[in-house]
Amino acid sequence: MSPRLLVMLMIGLSSLQVAAAQKSTDAHKRPAKQAADKRASAKAPTNWLQVEMAGDDGVAALYRDQLLSWYRTSGTMDERELAALPEADYFAFRPDLTSFSIDSGPSAGQWTFAPPDQGRWPGAAVQVIDRSDAANYRILARVHCDAATESCRKLRADTASMAPPEPVTSDESASYDAWRRLIEKEACAPAPKAMPAPRYPASLARHGEGGRVELRLLVNPCGEVRAVRLSGSSGFPQLDQSAIDTAWEWRVQSERQESGAIVRVPVDFVPPQFEAAPGGRAERASR
């Protein structure tokens, strides 16, 4: 018996966004409009982003410290293995552990490290610092790498064209509104719709505990999720978090619209109610 999970999609748009979506259904005009949007996006100044170059000194040591800290707190190693970590010159790089958030000190910011060659620590990284205030959306990106290398020049170019990250300011602030307008006109490529179902915690499903999680998402014109908000709790934090975590991976539409939108998604975690009895007859499962 496996739990059943229903995911339903309801799109809530403002009147302007509805009008934009209706216009985008004109199949003859859409290709020209997409090309114009792409050209406009390429020419638009990124006055919200400042990119600085920094040396590569300290990148390997910083990554090593962050990875060691993760191993000490993740429970993936026993005490003997943990005791040997400080003496390790190198240990297997985790491809899924390239990003760390540092909250304070001179290294504060969201760090993304470039995957290193086997047997070596990362030698390049990008540090993203949110400098937004209530009135202005501002992001500083420091590129840490050897400026003489081609890979470093590419990393800087990629950083200069980065997607605008969500600011830490209030949803009601002018800076957050400025970021949201950037997302609504973000250059992007359409792709097939993808909304994988969130994981249903087995312990809750087994005890018949379910509920509805209401999510409010900000998506770009291609339906990629750029912000997730919990607008209605199921009453079970595990279900709420499972829905939130999975929503970041969603693409809620397959065609590019003229503008991004606010998308409201109710996610129903429905516990199993029936199980097959002998002879094929379905009976209510006991709890």
Q: What is the secondary structure of 25-41 as a DSSP string?
A: T-TTTHHHHHHHHHHHH
CA angle 261, 265, 266 (to 5 degrees): 160
When computed from its CA atoms, the radius of gyration of the chain, rounded to whole angstroms, is 23
Q: Which CATH number fits domain 4-45+172-274: 3.40.50.300, 3.40.605.10, 3.30.2420.10, 3.40.1160.10?
A: 3.30.2420.10
Mention every residue, 6+ apart, whose C-beta is less than 8 A from residue 138. 48, 50, 130, 131, 132, 175
H or E stretch at 135:
none
Q: Could you list the beta-strand ranges (E) of the chain.
A: 4-7, 10-11, 49-54, 99-102, 109-113, 125-130, 139-144, 211-219, 225-232, 261-270, 274-276, 282-284
For residue 131, give both structure tokens: 């400098």
Distance separating alpha carbons of residues 5 and 21, to the nearest angstrom: 29
The pLDDT, as a whole number, for residue 218 is 97
Say if CB 97 and CB 67 are below 8 A apart. yes
Alpha helices in 147-206 (DSSP H): 150-160, 174-184, 202-206
The pLDDT, as a whole number, for residue 90 is 60
The pLDDT, as a whole number, for residue 37 is 44
Task: Answer whether 0.75 is exceeded by the pTM.
Answer: no
Domain chopping of the chain, boundaries: 4-45+172-274, 49-160
The pLDDT, as a whole number, for residue 135 is 97
The pLDDT, as a whole number, for residue 94 is 67
Taking the chain (287 residues) in consecutive chunks of 10 residues, what is each chunk's mean pLDDT?
41 33 39 44 66 92 86 76 68 74 93 81 93 97 95 95 94 96 95 96 91 97 97 96 96 96 95 53 31
Which of helix, strand or coil describes residue 182?
Answer: helix
Question: In terms of C-beta distances under 8 Å and separation of at least 24 residues, what long-range contacts does 177-181 make, across chains too?
Answer: 178/48, 178/136, 178/137, 179/48, 179/132, 179/137, 180/218, 180/227
